[in-house]
Amino acid sequence: MTEALHHLLDGLGLRATPEQLQALLTQLTKAHASPVQVLEQWAALERREREVRNLASRTKKASVGTTKPATDYDWNYPQSADEATYEDLLGLGFMTRKQNVLFRGPAGVGKTMLAKNLGLRALERGHTVVFANLSSALADLLRQESLPAVERRLRRYTAANLVILDELGYQPVDARAVDLLFQIVSRRHEHASTILTTNLPFKDWANVFPGAACLVPLVDRFTENMIAFDIRGPSYRQRTRPTPKPPPPRPPKKRA
């Protein structure tokens, strides 16, 4: 492929690299492909490359980060966790139904891991996703210096197809921040799915959001169309933590 042709194609916004195009043209020339076959294969290559780049862009914006795959989750370890329900969640039907999901259980039982894997599955299926620690997300919103700035930043958490807010209950949240969380949940209500992870039952949420007047409507809207995924059991980290070695025996005291 000539440099002039490469610049012409680049100006058209094609995403496939010159090396990819050259390899494809060489292959099709050897196969004596017809002009129509060349165009079909070229279009298929361009579509794949656009999908790869689109996924990479959405993954970066999602901030899901790294996590173990869902297949690594040991379903025999928790005292209670419904594997069949999680397999159903991986099908993303809850997003079609605009349902929320609540992962609830003590620290260290895999709530974040399972929630992140739903986010990654949604990204693979072409959705936009935002993952954030709840306290960090609310602090981010509170840092905005004007109402228009808050509105612009809120769109990050309201416009995505799936939002995952992690670790509700680990830090107290003041009334201003609760109002912002209510805005997120309320604007997404019946429009898009939201996932929360928490170590607290609903009756204890008032301890995290002291004095929040919108707490009851917040819970009502989030739970109106919700799947609760409860995990009970000890922390995985306790299982994987190495057993400390006993101290070496003291040498016998010498007699005087």
The 10s digit of each residue's pLDDT in 208-238 is: 888 788 989 999 999 999 999 999 998 877 6
C-alpha 142/C-alpha 179 separation (Å) is 11
Angle between helices 35-62 and 18-30 (to 10 degrees): 150
DSSP assignment letter at 211 = T
pLDDT > 60? residue 178? yes
C-alpha 192/C-alpha 202 separation (Å) is 22
| pLDDT score of 162 | 98
The sign one gets for the Cα dihedral 95, 99, 100, 102 is negative
Residue with tokens 């397999």: 87
Structural domains present in the chain? 3-61 (no CATH), 70-235 (3.40.50.300)
pLDDT > 80? residue 101? yes
User: Which residue would you say has higher pLDDT here, 98 or 170?
Assistant: 98
Average pLDDT on 147-161 reads 95
pLDDT > 60? residue 196? yes
244 Cβ contact partners less than 8 Å away, ≥ 6 residues apart: none
Phi and psi for 227 in degrees, rounded to 5? Answer: -110, 120
Cα torsion for 162, 165, 166, 171, to the nearest 10°?
180
Q: Which segments within 49-157 are labelled E, that is strand?
A: 100-104, 129-133
> What rounded mean pLDDT belongs to the chain?
88
| pLDDT score of 245 | 56
C-alpha 64/C-alpha 161 separation (Å) is 14
Helix/strand/coil (H/E/C) assignment for every residue in 158-209: HCCCEEEEEEECCCCCCHHHHHHHHHHHHHHCCCCEEEEEECCCHHHHHHHC
| pLDDT score of 111 | 96
pLDDT > 60? residue 164? yes
The 10s digit of each residue's pLDDT in 33-46 is: 888 888 888 788 77
Closest to 216 in 3D by CA, of 178, 163, 254: 178
DSSP assignment letter at 13 = T
DSSP assignment letter at 15 = -
Lowest mean pLDDT among 34-38, 81-85, 158-162: 34-38
pLDDT > 80? residue 130? yes
pLDDT > 90? residue 167? yes
The 10s digit of each residue's pLDDT in 2-56 is: 677 667 777 767 777 778 888 887 888 888 888 888 888 878 877 777 777 777 7
